[in-house]
Amino acid sequence: MNHNANNAESDTHNDQNNWYAKLHPIGTVQQTPKRKRLLNLSIFFRIWLAVALVLIICGIVVFTQLFGYVKPTAQQVIEDTLLDTSKLLAASLQVPLATGELYDEAYQAQLDTAFVGIPATNEHLGAVNQTKSYSSFRVYVTDSSGRVIYDSLPQPDNNEGQNYGRWNDVYLTLRGQYGARSTLRDNQQRDGSVMYVAQPIKNMSGEIIGVVSVGKPVASVLPYLDDTRNRMLITVLFISTAALILAGLIAWWLKQSITLVTQYTSSLAEDTKKPYFYLGHELNSLTDTIETMKHRLENRAYVTDYVHTLTHELKSPLTAIRASSELLEDDGLDGHMLDQDDRQMLIETVGEQSVKMQQLIDRLLLLAKVEQPTFKLSRQLTPLLPLLQTLIKDNTAKQQQQNLQPIDIYIDDQHMTNTTNLPAELLASTSVFADQFWLVQVLQNVLDNAIHFADNTVDISLHSTARTVIIDIFNDGKLLPDYAIEKAFERYFSLSHQSHSVQQVKNQNTTYTLDTGSAHHKAGSKQSDSILKKGTGLGLTLVKQVIEHHGGQVTIDNIHANDNEIGTDKTDTGKNQRSGVMVSITLPLA
């Protein structure tokens, strides 16, 4: 015990020091830390979050830059307006100042009617789009020395008589330069500055005899700036919200598309239809690549499976052929002689097993075509009655060999006695949109089985519904075991059966059994199990595959006496007095 414990501790120590074990832990479950689980967000939510963050940053930057550009632009507009107004006033005041009329109180009173109004303060500024009932201009006129001759402000703010010669607007203008200034007023805290622009007043000889200055508070445009800012903010918020919704929709679409691709990849084994994306070329390319890879893997597995199964299924007939040939080669050696019946039986065995191998290979090739992922049907309008009549005619020799009654056709439980000159309405009601070649293969396989297993009778009936046509092929052979019904359509499943033609020799009292190179006569016994025939086990598999490609279905059932639905006018059996096996094929109407 201690030795084992030491070994266990040594193995554990080695695993801890093994770099491969550290990188590839086996048998351990690594739990995601809580912090990582909290941050384990969907990639699509991360995309949306990143887009939202970018939009918010861009919105803030754009809004700040635009509004920062609007305010200086508004100030430039104010200055331009002041410049134009000052030029007009300078021209209109040239004569009054030169003649001294401007000093007259009556003349100044006339000027006051144009400029005097509600003081241009922030508290008295009206809102946007309201009727303006006052002038926000302040106008003052100085003489050539800078003394104020006229001031539009009412008392007590009127500054007539004061010297403005040192203010930039007056000082620069008197010296022939562009005069302008911006000055705070009334200690206002929000854009309380007043912009002034001055123009010289000249006499007829061009000498500067005075200066007129026009001022306007920057606060007078605040309502317009506020309205512009609000509109810009609403616009940015609207665009950002719309962009976030659009980004969310795109992220949701991407998530749904990737989910469809994931579901398609997870259900490849169920032959799920490939999704198609109208706005996702890359996703379509991805699903095409996945489907191509699936087909390649399926083809490899398909070829491997077929090689294994074909090898396995060919062993039995090859063994029988080899045993028969060895018996024929040893005939006459060691004093053992085969009689003519034994020799004939061995020759027939070789022929039958050769035919079986040929049928096996042919049906495998047909089944391989149907099971290819790229298999497509060449559908056309196919009337069933002429097709069935041709098949019955082609199988007449088999019916006679099996000593069966002629095959009859029933349409909606009515026996078709006249199979020529069929009405067009009847042909149309029993027509399907199908690939005629593969439909013939299906019906031939089912009819072969019915003839092979029948004791006396094979019947075919057609039933039309609003959307489908049902083809029932009945034979009165032995009922199938329950397990056989469940496995009937599985590949390589078949039942041993003694054909009807072999049963006709039951009155003979000799049977043959092959045993290590000799043949023995066993008197008093019936036909030996060595004569039982077994099919390839591929016929019904092919039938099921082809019918499902047509959008139909096929079933096989035991029909017991008193529940038979085949026609009533048989001479030897009544409608409710027969039992057997029925294969039902349902196809959509054309």
Instruction: List C-alpha distances in Å: 6 to 2, 3, 12, 46.
Output: 6, 5, 10, 51
- Structural domain boundaries enclosing 23: 2-36
Same domain, 69 and 190: yes
* pLDDT tens track for 277-295: 777 777 778 877 877 777 7
Higher pLDDT, 396 or 12: 396
Q: Does 193 reside within a domain?
A: yes
**Residue recorded with tokens 């002034």:** 196
Same domain, 403 and 481: yes
Bridge partners (DSSP) of residue 45 are none
* pLDDT tens track for 325-345: 888 877 766 666 778 888 788
If phi > 0 it is left, if psi is from -120 to 50 it is alpha, else beta; for residue 317 that is: alpha
Of 205, 227, 249, the position where a domain reaches its end is 227
Same domain, 69 and 31: no
Same domain, 428 and 469: yes
pLDDT at 133: 59
Alpha-carbon gap, residue 479 to 501, rounded angstroms? 19
Task: For residue 477, report the phi and psi dihedrals to the nearest 5 degrees.
Answer: -75, -170
Q: Does 304 reside within a domain?
A: no
CA angle 339-340-342, nearest 5°?
70
Residue 404 sits in a domain whose CATH number is 3.30.565.10
The answer to whether residues 461 and 384 touch, using CB atoms and an 8 Å cutoff, is no
Q: Does 115 reside within a domain?
A: yes
Same domain, 84 and 202: yes
What Rg, from alpha-carbon coordinates, does the chain have? 53
* pLDDT tens track for 569-588: 444 445 556 789 999 999 98
Q: Does 332 reside within a domain?
A: no
For the entire predicted model, the pTM comes to 0.46
Residue 209 sits in a domain whose CATH number is 3.30.450.20
The secondary structure of 43-101 as a DSSP string is HHHHHHHHHHHHHHHHHHHHHHHHHHHHHHHHHHHHHHHHHHHHHHHHHHTHHHHHHTG
DSSP state of 579: -
Bridge partners (DSSP) of residue 138 are 215
Query: 257, 259, 268: which is closest to 290 by C-alpha?
Result: 268
Q: Does 514 reside within a domain?
A: no
Same domain, 446 and 546: yes
Count of domains for the chain: 3
**367 alpha carbon, distance to own chain's centre:** 31
Alpha-carbon gap, residue 326 to 321, rounded angstroms? 9
Provide the mean pLDDT of the chain.
75
Same domain, 430 and 573: yes
The tokens for 416 are 């078709």
Instruction: List C-alpha distances in Å: 540 to 149, 330, 441, 492, 543.
Output: 120, 40, 11, 10, 5
Same domain, 464 and 564: yes
* pLDDT tens track for 429-461: 788 888 888 898 889 889 988 998 898 999 999
Same domain, 157 and 24: no
Task: For residue 568, report the phi and psi dihedrals to the nearest 5 degrees.
Answer: -105, -10
Same domain, 77 and 116: yes
The pLDDT of residue 136 is above 60: yes
pLDDT at 535: 58
Q: Does 327 reside within a domain?
A: no
Taking the CA atoms of residue 382, residue 388, residue 394 and residue 398 in that order, the dihedral angle to the nearest 10 degrees is 150
Query: 268, 142, 160: which is closest to 214 by C-alpha?
Result: 142
Same domain, 405 and 549: yes
Q: Does 251 reside within a domain?
A: no
Q: Does 291 reside within a domain?
A: no
